[in-house]
Chain A
Amino acid sequence: DTAVSQTPKYLVTQMGNDKSIKCEQNLGHDTMYWYKQDSKKFLKIMFSYNNKELIINETVPNRFSPKSPDKAHLNLHINSLELGDSAVYFCASSLPSWREGGTDTQYFGPGTRLTVL
């Protein structure tokens, strides 16, 4: 029944390591997103994929790379982790209103709390 799922929910790792966060949605949506939420709760869009093509790439370091094997999955790979990468990362998906059944509403996963030591 889970609409948007993320794994893992918690990730604790050392500086310099490489890690991945996986996201899957079973809503049949076209567009998927990655957000970063900092300690002050501010949400920042990182990436957006529409039908497996990158359509938003905000000014995030190139250590972050989104990978979408198909339109139901959008994974986030992070190289050479830094202390400042500690945050909660959210995956989300949506279907545009010009598509049948679409409402442009973004549905979020449960978030992944990343802690870099």
Chain B
Amino acid sequence: AQTVTQSQPEMSVQEAETVTLSCTYDTSESDYYLFWYKQPPSRQMILVIRQEAYKQQNATENRFSVNFQKAAKSFSLKISDSQLGDAAMYFCAYRSYQLEDSNYQLIWGAGTKLIIKP
């Protein structure tokens, strides 16, 4: 069974600095998706970034980028120029890529709380 591990329960960063949140996963599959979601105090779950495992290029969304290391099964999230609004819980998630199977389940990490220091 697949698992997702976020080893940092909490991280803090100075405003305008860069921070990296780690995520590792365990799978025997070769095709899958990886996601980072953000949950601010408002509790809304917001998609930050999505990566397809067959793509070599790391996904990027404005100040958010990932370092996807498939062989190492690592999927870290880098936030550049941190802003106060980035303060939130960040969840890493895995989904297998199965054309026929109807199992659409996401496997979730435990989350990392990101604190932004003004």
Q: List chain A positions with a Cβ less than 8 A from chain B.
A: 31, 33, 40-43, 45, 48, 50, 55-56, 88, 90, 92, 94, 96-98, 103-108, 110-111, 113
* Contact between A104 and B44, CB atoms less than 8 A apart: no
Most central of B35, B47, B104, B111 by chain A CB within 10 Å:
B104
A50 to B105 Cα, complex, angstroms: 12
* Contact between A50 and B104, CB atoms less than 8 A apart: yes
* Contact between B111 and A41, CB atoms less than 8 A apart: yes
Look across to chain A and name the residue whose beta carbon is closest to the beta carbon of B104. A31
The 18 sampled A-B contact pairs (Cβ below 8 Å) are: A42-B108, A42-B111, A43-B108, A48-B104, A48-B105, A55-B103, A56-B104, A56-B105, A92-B45, A96-B104, A98-B99, A103-B50, A105-B35, A105-B47, A106-B47, A108-B46, A110-B42, A113-B43
Contacts of A103 in B (CB 8 A): 50
Q: Is the interface of B mostly helix, strand, loop or mixed?
A: loop
Contacts of B103 in A (CB 8 A): 55-56
Look across to chain A and name the residue whose beta carbon is closest to the beta carbon of B43. A111
CB interface residues, B 51-88, toward A, < 8 Å: none
Given contacts A55-B103, A90-B45, A92-B45, 7 further A-B contacts (CB under 8 A): A40-B110, A43-B91, A43-B108, A107-B47, A108-B45, A111-B44, A111-B45
Contacts of B89 in A (CB 8 A): 41
CB of B78, distance to nearest CB on chain A (Å): 20
* Contact between A110 and B105, CB atoms less than 8 A apart: no
Look across to chain B and name the residue whose beta carbon is closest to the beta carbon of A88. B43
* Contact between B44 and A50, CB atoms less than 8 A apart: no
CB of A90, distance to nearest CB on chain B (Å): 6
CB of B93, distance to nearest CB on chain A (Å): 8
A94 to B47 Cα, complex, angstroms: 12
A48 to B102 Cα, complex, angstroms: 10
CB of A23, distance to nearest CB on chain B (Å): 13
* Contact between A104 and B104, CB atoms less than 8 A apart: yes
Is B22's CB within 8 Å of the partner chain A?
no
CB of B108, distance to nearest CB on chain A (Å): 5
Contacts of B39 in A (CB 8 A): 41
